[in-house]
Structure 1
Amino acid sequence: MRRLLPTAFSLALVLLGAALPALPASAQKVARGETPYATREDAMQFADDVAARRNLDRAWVRATIGGARLLPNVPRLMLPAPRGTAKNWRVYRSRFIDPVRIAAGVRFWQANAAALARAEAEYGVPAEIIVGIVGVETIYGRNMGNFRVIDALATLSFDFPQGHPRAAERQAFFRSELESFLSTESRTAENPMVPLGSYAGAMGMPQFMPSSIAKYAIDFDGDGRIDLVNNPSDVIGSVASYFKAFGWQPGVPPIYPVAFDEARLKKDVLLAPDILPSFSADSFVAGGAVLEGEALRHAGLLALVELQNGADAPSYVAGTQNFYVITRYNWSSYYAMSVIELGREVRAAMEP
């Protein structure tokens, strides 16, 4: 599952004032009510295919997809930032690490201390990482999204912007998420038109996509149902379950501080694998990185993570396998650093 970039990317569009292209003609017609999805041949063929693959009621699948509404602004939000747009870690960080979010994190941690401790014991994922995820995603349930999930997923399945450099791949992803959503909803007594989420179809406090709910969400408090909207215990257990499934290593810090020995620095070599851990501590140091203490004894592989700061010099950290695991939640090193730093700030605020 890709955790997308709904919050960060929408903020970037506002900050950048990016010019947004017009919707495709087919999408404009849906938006005006001229061609509802119920009369779209591609949407109804997809409905028939899903019903056959998943052994679902064909009329129910057709009615559900046919009742979806196009969200006119959503395709535009999927487009990448214009070329030449400078990334800025300090600006990005300021959007997620602030007094309001930290205070909310303290309350969340205090109210759910037992569940956080149990998740750490059973899955090896530190409480501060789980707290950081839920805080960055939704401010602990304060902002879980107001878009109907069926509308968001249908829009991105049938009207994904073709100007996106990976349009075919991303459209296929959202169609698979729509299929997963329909499969899950068919097994409940709930109305599939009711669930709300982000403009990308992510749901609940941890903003899980439908396929991740199916694969990784758990009933952590044992009440017989999984509730990622109102049950913090299920949220905590499900985030820990997700990280364990993607290879979280208990007891390993996600990052270490790093400096450089400029005389022998091979920065291009160290940056080449991007955030994928590829270097032993010895080879990392041989490339000109300077590590200290525990980092020098790190048994796994490391990556040099670069965080750009606009026109100022970039920031760097040494990322471990656990840093890479956090980016499996959202494929962004800036996102992962925000999760780590928010969790640390909340923990520090609780210590007194």
Structure 2
Amino acid sequence: MSTRFINLGAFLLAGLLVAVIPRAHALNVDKYPALQSLIDEMAEQYGYAPQKLRKTFRCARIRPEIIEAMERPKELLPWYEYSKIFLTEENVQRGAQFWKKHAAALARAGEEYGVPPETVVAIIGVETQFGRNKGNIPILDALTTLTLEYPARAAFFRRELTEFLLLARELDVDACGIKGSYAGAMGLPQFMPSNYRRFAVDFDANGTRDILDDPEDAIGSVALYLKQHGWEAGAPVADEANLEGTRYFWVEKFGIKPTLPLRQLASYGIFPRRHENAERRAALISLEGEYGPFYRLGYNNFYVITRYNHNKRYAMAVYELGERIRQHMEPKPLP
């Protein structure tokens, strides 16, 4: 989470893991100087016993399928394909059930952090189908494989491996036993270890910060994460964009971070569908339809969702799924 292409729904692994791939193999610490260096660092900085860490790493496996998965993230799919994975009637129904079951916790998260229930529910839905698919790869395998065999991002995953070992000690659990996604994300909200340590909260006050299995802790943790990354309570997330002329093309190049106020976007022929504060900043978001691109306005809260997963398709899937779940929850008029 909070790094590009990390927090993919764990259920997307199912097809990958049955493909014909090289077999995972046990780890020989002595063959990896980088791993020995990490063990020495953990001993010096955090007081770990080197032999205990070596024993921990003996349960790790190098998994080639993890590298394959990193090379083909689903966020690279065009929107019209990507959206079909998440924007389903089944997810709407399950999202409504999750909301009803945890209504009190969602309401309290909204009061404390300003994040509406539909956004929290949708993130958990996109990440793990509301806890049904949290991933079945040992986190130690994932982070060790990516640290040693994925040089493009080895430094990042080395830091996350360090954070994971610290987290396992804090939680007093066996590092070999925690499972999650191929990128090392875990629990209902698929937090990376560093984010678990920084943002996970004991939202039900039972003495444990458990986002692995506790929906209430996951709800509070997602809401806190969004607030800490700049969520604005009561502010819009996105809107349809009405376009005039061709000057909007230049605004699209500015990226997904809102930089221009709506009054200035109007001079480029870009107008929101709904009336909004002319000083509110927005980005022009292009998405791939089956018959060509279409456009949305993304406000600050849309950008905040991309801090969870740095991809506009992910953020739009969260927004649209949340909207559908919210509408499903609204009272239906009597006939």
Per the TM superposition, whether the score is higher than 0.5 is yes
> What does residue 121 of structure 2 align with?
131
CA distance in 2, matches of 1:13, 1:197: 13
Q: Residue 50 of structure 2: which of 35, 44, 58 is its match? A: 58
**CA RMSD in angstroms, aligned pairs only:** 2.6
Q: SS at 1:244's partner residue?
A: helix
Q: Residue 301 of structure 1: which of 273, 281, 295 is its match? A: 281
Name the CA shift for 1:349/1:292 in 2 (closer, same or farther; >3 Å). closer
Deviations 1:184-214 (A, max 9, x none): 1123332111001001111000000000001
Deviations 1:282-336 (A, max 9, x none): 11111111224433x15331100111225x2212111111100000000111000
Question: 1:67 and 2:59 equivalent?
Answer: yes
Q: Residue 315 of structure 2: which of 336, 342, 348 is its match? A: 336
Name the CA shift for 1:314/1:131 in 2 (closer, same or farther; >3 Å). same
Amino acid at match of 2:117: A
* Structure 1 segments of 4+ aligned residues over 3 angstroms from their partners: 5-15
Q: How does 1:51-200 map to 2 (within 5 A)?
A: 51-80=43-72, 87-160=77-150, 162=151, 167=152, 170-200=153-183
Deviations 1:239-296 (A, max 9, x none): 000001100011111112211111xx3123211211011111111111111224433x
Alpha-carbon deviation of 1:41? Answer: 2.3
> What does residue 39 of structure 2 align with?
47
CA contact (8 A) 2:56 2:176 kept: yes
CA distance in 2, matches of 1:182, 1:62: 12
Q: SS at 2:95's partner residue?
A: helix
CA contact (8 A) 1:9 1:77 kept: no
Q: Residue 216 of structure 2: which of 226, 233, 236 is its match? A: 233
Count of matched residue positions in the alignment of Structure 1 and Structure 2: 328
Name the CA shift for 1:14/1:187 in 2 (closer, same or farther; >3 Å). closer
Q: Percent identity?
A: 36
> What does residue 205 of structure 1 align with?
188
Name the CA shift for 1:3/1:118 in 2 (closer, same or farther; >3 Å). farther
Name the CA shift for 1:230/1:13 in 2 (closer, same or farther; >3 Å). closer
Name the CA shift for 1:293/1:40 in 2 (closer, same or farther; >3 Å). closer
Alpha-carbon deviation of 1:103? Answer: 1.2
Alpha-carbon deviation of 1:37? Answer: 3.4
Q: Residue 271 of structure 1: which of 244, 247, 252 is its match? A: 252
CA distance in 2, matches of 1:48, 1:281: 54
CA distance in 1, matches of 2:14, 2:102: 35
CA distance in 1, matches of 2:66, 2:77: 22
Name the CA shift for 1:40/1:291 in 2 (closer, same or farther; >3 Å). closer
TM, length-normalised to structure 2 = 0.90
Name the CA shift for 1:12/1:211 in 2 (closer, same or farther; >3 Å). closer
TM, length-normalised to structure 1 = 0.86
